[in-house]
Chain A
Amino acid sequence: MNVGVAHSEVNPNTQVMNSWGIWLAYIILVRLLHVVLLSIPFFSILVVWTLTNVIHNLAMYVFLHTVKGTPFETPNQGKPRLLTHWEQMDYGLQFTSSCKFLSISPIVLYLLASFYTKYAAHFLINTASLLSVLLPKLPQFHGVRLFGINKY
């Protein structure tokens, strides 16, 4: 095995967002998404920015706040089976640096999107998708499942 690779982490999902490699990959992916959308000829700049914002927020919502559990067996008898990835991060510690990074990046994207849509178009869609991604990150919403959706 490779040297320095072994870890004794019970649930590696909790530490995956802390590596700077993930942060860089995340930024590159968002830019890649934006460039791909820009290269579609019949989308105007307004639509492209709104789409970037919406698709990014949708993907973030699905991967961080909808999918539960781990794709591997953990030795703690299934404790994180009902927790989303956001709730698993750092074992439930609030306001860690990766939390802050992941909270700030949709806001930054929103600010850019509203700048580029000239503050006139697509206000509701952008704001709604931003809220859908910001609200689950609040510590008051830790473990909350509204209307029993996604509980089990």
Chain B
Amino acid sequence: MATVAEQWVLVEMVQALYEAPAYHLILEGILILWIIRLLFSKTYKLQERSDLTVKEKEELIEEWQPEPLVPPISKDHPALNYNIVSGPPSHKIVVNGKQCVNFASFNFLGLLDNPRVKAAALASLKKYGVGTCGPRGFYGTFDVHLDLEDRLAKFMKTEEAIIYSYGFATIASAIPAYSKRGDIVFVDRAACFAIQKGLQASRSDIKLFKHNDMADLERLLKEQEMEDQKNPRKARVTRRFIVVEGLYMNTGTLCPLPELVKLKYKYKARIFLEESLSFGVLGEHGRGVTEHFGISIDDIDLISANMENSLASIGGFCCGRSFVIDHQRLSGQGYCFSASLPPLLAAAAIEALNIMEENPGIFLVLKEKCERIHKALQGISGLKVVGESLSPAFHLQLTDSTGSREKDVKLLQEIVNHCMDRSIALTQARYLEKEEKCLPPPRRRTGESRAHNQGGGPGCAALGRVLGPGGQPPRSTHTGLCVTAL
């Protein structure tokens, strides 16, 4: 019964084929030809046309001269004349065999040679050995790491924290984890090199605004808003970020965080705050620039800091809401694909946090010292202090420049050598000149340490004396001074 019905239908079908309208059959014929064409076509790549003929390509290849492996450099390149430090860098440092007052290391709370921190690190060294031999996802997570993340989250009063094993890599991994191609990042011109590398890795659209100029930032945000209104569908899939530093490494100034938070809520962008210099420095308990301004930590989407300045350890951390930080556990390149922090450094950081929590008075001491040294260095002829009075890392810039960067650098180097002869260790702030986006003028950097309580007074005076008469006709360059508090 079924087969009869089928055959009957089949006969009808074939009959219908003969009676089919011509256009339909022609269409089917074309389709069958299309199938045959598809079956016989070769795979090829859609290429952008290159307008060079073979001859031109040969010419270009002939013309090319390889660059020498070692480019010719002058004899006084800093990489060839380095200072050798022997012994630990605390408030005194032994440079080239000579003991100097250390104004060059970033040792803000003076915890570099604190006996408690050293004891904790040694105990951890005996217990765990030196390294972790693995990234966090592959047998490299130790209890000290989890402990440190916990303590940092509690200290900063956020939900979660994540540890990186290298301070530079912290912000350079955090930015590309959230901001991708097609997203927009508004960043300050004076952002440090690590932020610039993170932005470059993220392939997002970068909009630079003038340093600490909220009016400029608002102008850029308004322009973006108008573009968004023209194309709302694109705007819905674009993410917007504002990346700022708490205390800028390149200028020693504070970012105007209350206005930033207002702009954030007005223009719906997310704030990434880089607190490397302000963590453990600003605020009543050392929680950074949010505590300094009294802003709730929930207003900032991501805080990133490195532990190499105040915590006297190595590495960095990011803290924020769990929803935000958890994403970095799989997307943070520096977290997933680097070995984790050596446990002795994590233990040292935990002990440093203990010290910070036990005596919050050290932050006041640091602040006092910073203000003192700022005042003491004000009147030097030829050099001006660049940076806020509460910033422990600031720069000494030549007031007028010679006109050429090399001459400025040379002059500063002379000043640094002069200071070194008088037992004061300073450094020049170095920049990869070809890689920086907005190259700051050459300067000398000073790091003020809390350790300079005794050395502080005479140190300031010595610095003033040395720099005062030592100043040749004024130039503008920077040297950085880092004030560390002890």
Identify the A interface with B (CB < 8 A).
Answer: 45, 73, 77-79, 81-82, 92-96, 99-100, 103-104, 107-108, 110-111, 114-116, 118-120, 123, 127, 139, 142, 151-152
Contact = CB atoms under 8 A, between A and B. Distances in A.
28 contacts: A77-B181, A77-B203, A78-B182, A81-B237, A82-B182, A92-B45, A93-B43, A93-B45, A94-B46, A95-B38, A96-B43, A100-B39, A104-B38, A110-B31, A111-B28, A114-B24, A118-B13, A118-B16, A118-B20, A119-B17, A119-B19, A119-B21, A119-B25, A120-B16, A127-B27, A151-B233, A152-B233, A152-B234
Contacts of A139: 46
B42 interface: yes
A81 B234 contact: no
Mostly helix, strand, loop or mixed at chain B's interface? helix
Instruction: Return the 7 tightest CB-CB contacts between A and B, nearest first.
Output: A119-B20, A78-B180, A118-B16, A152-B234, A78-B181, A77-B203, A95-B41
A116 B13 contact: yes
A25 B242 CA distance: 47
Nearest to B19: A119
Contacts of A77: 176, 180-181, 201-203
B234 A95 contact: no
B24 A123 contact: yes
Indicate the member of A110, A119, A120, A127 with the most B CB atoms within 10 Å: A119
B35 A119 contact: no
B239 to A, nearest CB: 10
Nearest to B34: A107
B45 A115 contact: no
Contacts of B41: 95, 100
A95 B28 contact: no
Nearest to A110: B31
A101 B190 CA distance: 55
B12 interface: yes
A116 B6 CA distance: 12
Contacts of A103: 38
A81 B181 contact: yes
Q: Which one of B17, B21, B27, B46 has the greatest number of beta carbons of chain A within 10 Å?
A: B46
Given A118-B20, A119-B25, 5 more contacts: A79-B181, A93-B44, A107-B34, A107-B35, A152-B236
B381 interface: no
Given A100-B39, A103-B38, A127-B27, A115 B181 contact: no
Contacts of A92: 45-46
Interface in B2-32: 9, 12-13, 16-17, 19-21, 24-25, 27-28, 31-32
B331 interface: yes
Nearest to B23: A123
Nearest to A137: B38
B331 A94 contact: no
A120 B13 CA distance: 11
Contact of A119 (B16, B32, B43, B236): B16
A118 B180 contact: no
Given A93-B43, A93-B45, A142-B46, A111 B31 contact: yes
Nearest to A87: B46
Contacts of B231: 152
Interface string B184-203: 00000000000000000111
Given A79-B181, A95-B38, A119-B21, A73 B331 contact: yes
B202 A95 contact: no
A119 B24 contact: yes
Nearest to B16: A118
A107 B237 CA distance: 36
Nearest to A69: B237
Interface in B33-81: 34-35, 38-39, 41-46
